[in-house]
Amino acid sequence: MLSSNIEKALNKQIKIEAESSQIYLAMASWAELKGMEGVAEFMYAQTDEERMHMLKIFKFVNERGGHAIVSELDAPSTDFGSTKEMFETLLKHEEFVSQSINELVAITLEEKDYATHNFLQWYVAEQIEEEATARTILDKINLIGDDRSGFYHFDKDIKAMINFNPQAPIV
Ligand code: OFO
């Protein structure tokens, strides 16, 4: 059984994951309209992945006797400036998510809730991977600079970094 404190903190994380999904969907739309097919595809995969992150916590809360809440979400931006700025925003957002997961892990230790602590380890590992992917992409963008043909190849190559598997089970 979840304590009300942990239930509240997990519901807060559900909202963060749902907002992450919205942010990446907005990024997908922006990239698609700019003709960056590969970047848009990457963002469409990201939005699905974040929804999966949200659902995983959602189901865990209900399974553990809590009540998973669907709350109102903040609307994301519609304009992300440039591709580089968009990936900088993405990295900053993932760093914020990592911080939030870390705080959640700290609460589970304070409350000696080892089941939730164990459940959250998947998110700790996932955040390391997501931050690393964002940094790798930013390194590539910085290397390309203003080279248009380099950018054309980047848009093609980024598809290889999509690791979302739509066939994978949700939980
Ligand atoms: Fe990329 O944030 Fe979810 O966990």
55's CB contacts (< 8 A; 6+ apart) are: 170, 171
Inside any domain, residue 52: yes
Look at the chain and report how many structural domains it folds into. Answer: 1
pTM of the predicted model, to two decimals? 0.93
Inside any domain, residue 171: no
- Does residue 171 register a pLDDT over 60? no
What pLDDT, on the 0 to 100 scale, is given for residue 167? Answer: 53
Nearest atom in ligand 1 to the alpha carbon of residue 123 is 4
107-150: pLDDT as tens digits: 999 999 999 999 999 999 999 999 999 999 999 999 998 888 88
Inside any domain, residue 157: yes
58-86: pLDDT as tens digits: 999 999 999 999 999 999 999 999 999 99
Nearest atom in ligand 1 to the alpha carbon of residue 127 is 4
What Rg value do the Cα atoms of the chain yield, rounded? 17
Provide the b/e sequence for 23-45 (b: ≥16 CB within 10 Å). bbbbbbbbbeeeebebbbbbbbb
Q: Domain holding 129: CATH number?
A: 1.20.1260.10
Q: How confident is the model at residue 151 (pLDDT cuts 50, 70, 90)?
A: confident
- The DSSP letter of residue 160 is G
Inside any domain, residue 170: no
The mean of the pLDDT values for the chain is 94
Nearest atom in ligand 1 to the alpha carbon of residue 101 is 4
The residue segments making up the domain with residue 87 are 4-71+80-161
Mean pLDDT of 22-51: 97
Inside any domain, residue 169: no
Mean pLDDT of 45-50: 97
Counting Cβ atoms within 10 Å, is residue 165 exposed (0-12), middle (13-18) or buried (19+)?
exposed
What's the 81 CA to ligand 1 centre distance in angstroms? Answer: 23
Inside any domain, residue 168: no
- Does residue 166 register a pLDDT over 50? no
Name all residues whose Cβ lies below 6 A of ligand 1: 17, 20, 50, 53, 94, 97, 123, 126-127, 130
- Does residue 53 register a pLDDT over 90? yes
- Helix or strand holding residue 50 (H, E): helix 37-63
What pLDDT, on the 0 to 100 scale, is given for residue 46? Answer: 97
